[in-house]
Amino acid sequence: MINHKKKVAVALSGGVDSSVAAALLKQGACPEFGRRVEVLGFHLRFWKAKENKAKSKEVENRVKKIGEVLDIPIKFFDVKENFKKIVQNYFLKELKSGRTPNTCVVCNREIKFKFLLEKAKAMKCDYLATGHYARLRPAGYGGQARLLRAKDKKKDQSYFLWGVKLTQEQWGKILFPIGEMESKQKVRQIAKEFGLPTFQTPSSSDVCFLGSLDFTKFLQKQLGNKKGKIIDKKGNVLGEHSGLWFYTIGQRKKIGLSGGPYFVVDKDIKKNTLIVSKNEKDLLKKELVAGEVNWFSGVEPYLPLKVKAKIRYGSAVSSAVVKEKTGKGKYKVIFDRPQKAITPGQSVVFYKQEELLGGGVIQN
């Protein structure tokens, strides 16, 4: 419990989750505080496709309305150039290399937490709060902070936070006010009770900067087409693809083959071939190699390590073992049961019960 009034910066996206986080803090209903604090709203102006400029204006107006309803000042920060340089370029580079990128992980690490913590410090804020569904347990004396899955496992977003690299002191300045909420429905109910304009705001899409823009059209404009063969696992030519970046492992729609369904099971980057199969079991694998691994504690644990792991945001956690390094910064991960559509470029995240231990990028 905090014994004196503190100043908290809240990252406001314009959505219901972050607005409720701000409301809870403002009204003293946040579990971390138990009393009212001085709240300041931060809104980041991200780069978005030009087709979504009207939508961006709508979001900004909503953020201003949140400020009016809660009677808190709002600060706007333009991060368009950094976002485009870091997040969008990463997105396109990964797709071009044949992988399926997880842009939220990069955005959280490089933009949201890093940038906002700097701004919060510059404006004499004691804490930074976000609308993420996650829970944080501050470090006790001589201990380590712990990041836990949200109470609502369906909405838990700890999966996207494994790559955030902060010191223990910095983690002590982060708050997740809605991490203890039982459900999204409860969050919307609270938004309605506070009179917030976000209580019916739809959830954002995975590739937020594209918005309603057609994914295929965007890639055609940015990467163009690079035709190649579509083959089965025996090497039989079945058709032609327009570019490997238009496909992801496990995909079964919009492949352009008759006589299906077919599933994308692999890509051969060197030969520019897309490999498909009618047998869904060909998507099952028990092993992967993870790179760019980040351990939340900052210290590599003793290996081999038994964990619960997720290979994508929407998948369930599954028992696995993280084995010794297979190369510079790479680890072999072996699951007890085969996993469906392990996808290079996506994140594999490690847990011990509720606690996030770390994660990495799936290499193969």
Residue 31 sits in a domain whose CATH number is 3.40.50.620
Same domain, 264 and 340: no
* Within a domain: 113: yes
* Within a domain: 18: yes
Amino acid present at 201: T
The pLDDT of residue 168 is: 86
Bond prior to 344 in cis (omega within 30° of 0): no
Same domain, 17 and 158: yes
The pLDDT of residue 2 is: 44
134 strand-pairing partners:
149
* Within a domain: 288: yes
Same domain, 16 and 163: yes
State the CB neighbour count (10 A cutoff) for residue 183.
12
Q: How far is CA 171 from the centre of its chain?
A: 18
Supply angle C-alpha 24, 25, 30, rounded to 5. Answer: 65
CATH of the domain at 335: 2.40.30.10
At 161 the three-state DSSP class reads helix
Same domain, 149 and 132: yes
The pLDDT of residue 1 is: 44
* Within a domain: 214: no
Report which of 350, 349, 348 is spatially closest to residue 364, judged by C-alpha positions: 348
E strands present in the chain? 7-11, 38-45, 74-78, 127-129, 134-137, 146-149, 174-175, 228-232, 237-241, 263-268, 273-277, 284-295, 305-310, 318-327, 330-340, 347-352, 355-362
Total number of domains in the chain? 3
CB-based contact 207:103 (threshold 8 Å): yes
User: From residue 105, how far is each of 37, 82, 256, 294, 322 by CA, in Å?
Assistant: 29, 15, 31, 12, 21
Supply angle C-alpha 122, 149, 204, rounded to 5. Answer: 70
Domain limits for position 112: 7-194
> Which tokens hold the place of 25?
């803090």
Q: Where are the alpha helices (DSSP H) in 195-327?
A: 215-223
At 160 the three-state DSSP class reads helix
> Which tokens hold the place of 75?
């600060």
Per-residue pLDDT of the chain (364 residues; tens, 9 = 90+): 444 678 999 999 999 999 999 999 998 866 656 566 899 999 998 866 665 666 778 889 999 999 999 999 999 999 989 998 999 999 999 999 999 999 999 999 998 998 999 999 999 999 999 999 999 987 765 678 899 999 999 999 999 999 999 988 899 899 999 999 999 999 999 999 999 999 888 876 556 777 667 788 889 999 999 999 999 999 999 999 999 999 999 999 999 899 879 999 999 999 999 999 999 999 999 999 999 999 998 888 999 999 999 999 989 999 999 997 776 779 999 999 999 999 999 999 999 999 999 999 999 8
How far the first Cα of the chain sits from its last, in Å, is: 46
Amino acid present at 84: K
Same domain, 267 and 300: no
Same domain, 244 and 167: no
Same domain, 177 and 40: yes
Same domain, 116 and 163: yes
At 131 the three-state DSSP class reads coil
The pLDDT of residue 96 is: 94
Q: Which residues contact 95 (CB under 8 A, 6 or more apart)?
A: 101, 219, 223, 245
* Within a domain: 213: no
The pLDDT of residue 57 is: 84
Report which of 45, 119, 116, 111 is spatially closest to residue 80, judged by C-alpha positions: 45
Positions marked active-site: 107, 208
* Within a domain: 203: no
Among candidate residues 233, 259, 278, the one where a domain is terminated:
278
* Within a domain: 208: no
